Structure 1
Amino acid sequence: MSDRRLRRPSGIRSLQLGELKVSYVPDGVVQLRPRGWLPAATGRDWAEHAEYLNDTGHLVAGIGGLLVEYGRRALLIDAGFGPRAVPEDPDHPLIGAIHGGALLDNLERIGRAPGEIEAVAFTHLHTDHLGWACVDPVVFTGADFLVTELEWTDRHLAAAHGVTTRMLAAITLRLRLIREGEEIFPGVRVLAVPGHTTGHTAFMITAGRQRLIAFGDALHSPIQVRHPAWSAAADHDPAASARQRSWLLAELQRPDTLGFGVHFADVVFGRVRQDADGASWQPQP
């Protein structure tokens, strides 16, 4: 893959899966400090993988959502960071600057008004995934907010990641609890992958023989495809996160299976391929 794509955020990207159209809808970007975010990786590791780091030495992680369209119907998976920005704090061990704000404009470019979306499903309850669902006035006026039962039961843990009582109250007003294996939209089923949070959720999108796994924050960077033992410092249970990553990578190597990594810079859609050096992320198309 082009090294440049690893160091820049993605624009709108779309794929057709049978009757389903899936589109990455960018909202913004967060810059991750590599040594802090993936603490198992050493300085030597990053010297060997410098192609993942931008000019300021950060991992570039996009923020946004995945729009799934079936005819006139639409589901959004995750809702970005929202219309705000946080400047870089040089003393923060994990992240640099973070900003959102582009999701609604990008939905408009795709041809969707937020009021047309029938449900917003969340991989987990962190601020960079709840964003636009918590603004006032409400923008997703016709949508239920879908959260797994376990993630909602442990919602108090989200406070450590900046989620406020006001944000949770906004979710509560439209909350619908969902369960493992449930079909929440034509071809879209709930897939539990705990580790990053206790109820962290992926979504399996199936159309005919094709599958796409939207794996949320089970992986934050394509470098973790090569190094699945590298858990993020923000993972609630790093050991469980590593186990789930290994399982996901095996699933992603099955025939006719694609992955979607919401934070994967400009390579959000891809396949996992195995070679003599191990697994790697192959961007699609």
Structure 2
Amino acid sequence: MNDSRLRRPSAVRTLRVGEMKVSYVPDGAMLLKPAGGPPATADRHWSGYSAYLNDTRRLVANTGGLLVEHGTRALLIDAGFGPRAVPENSDHPDRGAVHGGSLPGNLALLGRSPTDIETVAFTHLHPDHIGWACVDPPLFTRATFVIPKAEWDHCDPEVAALEARTRLVLAGEEVFPGVHAVALPGHTAGHTGFVIASHGVRLLAFGDAMLSSLQIRHPEWSAISDADPDRSELHRRRLIAELLRPDTLGFGIHFADVVFGRVRPDGREAAWHPL
């Protein structure tokens, strides 16, 4: 693999999952501090993984959404950071600078308008996943917002304003043809992934259950931002077992320029193989 892909944000990327078209829609990028991102321990853990850090020793991550198209219908999973930028705060334990703003333009590159989106489903309600759902005037004027019930029960007042357009879902429910919710709590209480399945192929969109592809190799690595590190690790291990299935692809929204991939055995561990 070209190491430079590990140190840059992803452009638009598209693949087929059976009869579905699935595209990563960039909104912007964020930098994570290695002592606060995975692993949430001393910086020495990164000594063998310098290829993952940029020239300021930050882990490069994306913010954006996953567009799922089924014929004329369209679903968006997560909604980026929105039209704003936040500089690095030296006191913040894990997050560096973050900027968004590119999601509408990248939807247009994919031939879609925000008015085409019938459903926006959220893995969880952190600011880098709900940005464009909270703008005024609204961007997704026709969309229903699908939010995991356990996540909604802990939401901030800013998100509560979306209630009139919100549909609460439980694990196992279908949110769009061929797309089902799967519980992956740990990062937040109601953190949820989505399984996209068509014609014998699956793609698991696992949100922030993993922030770096290194967590495939090291599922014991949690981030400071994980509300329940033990539970997060448990679900990472279960998730990796699912991703090892030969019919299954993965989508890691924060995985730099390797957002789509497969998990394959690598000795006694597993590893991410980007597409």
User: Taking structure 1 as the reference length, what is the TM-score of the superposition?
Assistant: 0.94
Match for residue 236 of structure 2 among 226, 229, 245:
245
Query: Deviation of residue 154 (structure 1)?
Result: 1.9
For 1:119-198, what aligned pairs fall within 5 Å after superposition? Answer: 119-156=119-156, 165-169=157-161, 171-198=162-189
Q: Deviations over 1:180-232 (max 9, x none)?
A: 11111111001011101111000000011100000000000001111001111
Residue aligned with 2:35, SS: helix
Count matched residues: 275
Specify every segment of 5 or more residues in structure 1 that has no aligned partner in the other structure, as ranges. Answer: 157-164
Residue aligned with 1:10, SS: coil
Residue aligned with 1:212, SS: strand
Match for residue 229 of structure 1 among 207, 217, 220:
220
Higher helix share: 1
Residue aligned with 1:96, SS: strand
1:51 alignment partner AA:
A
| Residue of structure 2 in register with 1:199 after alignment | 190
Root mean square deviation, CA, Å = 1.1
| Residue of structure 2 in register with 1:105 after alignment | 105
2:180 alignment partner AA:
R
Identity of aligned residues (%): 60
Query: Deviation of residue 40 (structure 1)?
Result: 4.2
Mapped pair 1:82 → 2:69? no
Query: Deviation of residue 44 (structure 1)?
Result: 3.1
Query: Deviation of residue 168 (structure 1)?
Result: 2.9
For 1:212-223, what aligned pairs fall within 5 Å after superposition? Answer: 212-223=203-214
Query: Deviation of residue 41 (structure 1)?
Result: 4.5
| Residue of structure 2 in register with 1:264 after alignment | 255
1:166 alignment partner AA:
E
User: Taking structure 2 as the reference length, what is the TM-score of the superposition?
Assistant: 0.97
The farther-off stretch of 98-107 and 147-156 is 147-156
Distance 1:149 1:188 in 2: 17
Distance 2:231 2:72 in 1: 38
For 1:8-47, what aligned pairs fall within 5 Å after superposition? Answer: 8-47=8-47
2:160 alignment partner AA:
L
Query: Deviation of residue 22 (structure 1)?
Result: 0.3
Distance 2:158 2:153 in 1: 17
Residue aligned with 1:120, SS: strand
Distance 1:235 1:98 in 2: 19
Mapped pair 1:73 → 2:64? no
Distance 1:102 1:69 in 2: 20
1:78 alignment partner AA:
D
Query: Deviation of residue 144 (structure 1)?
Result: 0.2
Distance 1:262 1:275 in 2: 23
| Residue of structure 1 in register with 2:267 after alignment | 276
Distance 2:38 2:12 in 1: 27
| Residue of structure 2 in register with 1:58 after alignment | 58
Distance 1:43 1:89 in 2: 18
Residue aligned with 2:92, SS: coil
1:226 alignment partner AA:
R
Residue aligned with 1:37, SS: coil
Residue aligned with 1:240, SS: helix
Residue aligned with 1:189, SS: strand
Distance 1:126 1:152 in 2: 12
